[in-house]
Amino acid sequence: MHSDLDTDAAAARALFQSLEGMEGLSRPEPAPVQKGKERFPGQAALVKLYPGVLVAGTIALASTWLAQHYGAPVMLFALLLGMTFHFLHQEGRCIPGIEFSSKAILRFGVALLGARITAGQILSLGITPIVTVVIAVVSTILLGAFLSKRLGLRQGFGVLSGGAVGICGASAALAIASVLPRDKHGERDTILTVVVVTALSTIAMITYPLLTAALHLDQTKAGVFLGGTIHDVAQVVGAGYMISPHTGDVATYVKLLRVSMLLPVVFAIAFLAARMLPGGSGGAKPQLPLFLVAFAALVAVNSLGWLPKAGADAATEVSRWCLVTAIAGLGMKTSFKDVMTAGWRPVVLMVVETAWIAGVVLVAVEWFL
């Protein structure tokens, strides 16, 4: 009798420990797979990533089911459900997989979107989106540098936040931070910028589609507005495809125009920082985003008619699942509590920058598109 009870107790403890691993609670980590002892290539990476990716994928499945049964946008369901599981990103085995979902899977999904876009669609937008993006990005960075001093903040923070708002959110913040002069406030400013820009981008993803409807923008104008104003790539994609596939395609193209501004902007900031503060530009030079190259390559292949319809359809479906999974991962990373403890001045600055770029793009859309 006692042996049966002991066996049942041991089984219950094992089950509880397995649940702890999924909930982010503390438990002994499994021994890492050593090189040379892997049963198949990539086993160690798979063991490390699968808990977080599994959670993000499960949220994506649940969001898809809810969207199909209740007629609401799948991206919005994925975002909101993901945010309810934010505690998984605070500690535990899920963190690597959540990061992988919100970055690598996101970029892979965005790259595959090129399979549904052609050069003809891009050229049909005209030169206005290109000019709009350049003016919006440059003016937002200059505004951040100007207002930061008036708010009692470091001018470097204004450049950092303006670049993050103007180009591509957290990715731009990290790239710009790598070339700004290093000091004791650098890391704090970078973390603060990433947290606030992610929260603002999440809010914009939810509210901007409603704004385009209130302003009666057509699908093309709505795509230009969303792609030219929302900070992060994932939220642009999510907001665009909430409205329609065409709006999502246009928003993605315009957003990738902003992403392509990353290299010249970062190199310009590095040059100016080196001139003003010799030796202060430290940090590695940013690399050309490979997902942007892949996106452009797929657009070219599709434009030339070399991509069969079955291949384009398959790439589109895989892309959709990747993006929903990535949105779930981004939701799990979003913490409004951190934003509330950051102080009001940096938040006000970034809200003003967000409003500025939205105003610039909206004027261009209403008057010149």
Ordered by start, the domain boundaries in the chain are: 47-368
Question: How would DSSP label each residue in 245-275?
Answer: HHHHHHHHHHHHHHHHTHHHHHHHHHHHHHH
Q: CB–CB of 166/183 below 8 Å?
A: no
Burial class (CB in 10 A: 0-12, 13-18, 19+), 151: middle
How far, in Å, are 59, 82, 89, 204 from residue 330 at the CA level? Answer: 12, 7, 10, 14
**Chain-centre distance of CA 141, in angstroms?**
20
pLDDT of residue 22: 43
Residues in contact with 178: Cβ distance below 8 Å, sequence separation at least 6, in sequence order:
266, 282, 283, 284, 286
Q: Which two tokens stand for residue 120?
A: 């003809």
Q: Which of 147, 331, 322 is nearest to 232 (CA)?
A: 331
- What are phi and psi for residue 168, nearest 5 degrees? -150, 40
Rounded to the nearest 10 degrees, what angle do helices 233-243 and 74-84 cross at? 140
Of 223, 169, 192, nearest to 354 by C-alpha is 169
> What's the pLDDT score for residue 15?
47
Predicted model pTM: 0.69
Backbone angles phi, psi at 194, to 5 degrees: -60, -45
Quick one: CA dihedral 113, 115, 121, 126, positive or negative?
positive
pLDDT at residue 365 in the model: 93
Nearest C-alpha neighbor of 350 from the set 236, 201, 133? 201
Amino acid at 182: R
CA distance 163 to 168: 8
Q: Give residue 25's pLDDT.
A: 44
State the 10-residue block means of pLDDT for the chain, 369 residues long. 52 49 47 59 78 94 90 79 88 89 86 81 80 94 92 88 90 80 72 83 91 93 95 87 90 87 82 61 54 83 88 89 89 70 82 96 91
SS3 167: coil
- Sorted by sequence, the CB contacts under 8 Å of residue 239 that are 6+ apart come out as 75, 204, 205, 206, 208, 209, 226, 230, 251
pLDDT at 194: 82
In one letter, which amino acid is 153?
L
Spatial distance between the Cα atoms of 301 and 315, rounded to a whole number of angstroms = 13
> 163 — phi, psi (to 5°)?
-70, -40
Which residues touch 93 (CB under 8 Å, ≥6 apart)?
21, 22, 24, 29, 51, 52
